[in-house]
Amino acid sequence: MRKRDRTCAKSTPQEPKRMQRMVCLMSEEELRIVDSYLRKYKITNKSRWLRETVLAFIHKNMDEDYPTLFGEHDMRR
């Protein structure tokens, strides 16, 4: 199957368009690691994968760091 034969998910009008660009620089070794991971798991959309991975990490940390009324030690009593 050729790459052009695959169908891709179309964005819906409800989804906001991505207009902001974010750039990050990587060393050659870091780029090789990312590329080998993408090949291993057959991920073809690097941009989507990177965006979802970064946002999932941020959401996870935000959930863990959510401010609480009491400290962790007080809640474990």
- Let me know the angle formed at the C-alpha of 44 by 60 and 24, rounded to the nearest 5 degrees: 55
Q: What is the pTM of this model?
A: 0.66
How far apart, in Å, are the Cα atoms of 57 and each of 31, 37, 42, 64?
19, 17, 21, 11
Q: Is the pLDDT of residue 10 over 90?
A: no
Mean pLDDT, residues 52-61: 95
Mean pLDDT, residues 59-76: 79
Instruction: Spell out the residues 6+ positions from residue 75 whose beta carbon is closer than 8 angstroms to its own.
Output: 68
> CA 10: distance to chain centroid?
19
pLDDT confidence of residue 15: 82
Q: Is the pLDDT of residue 62 over 50?
A: yes
Q: Is the pLDDT of residue 35 over 80?
A: yes
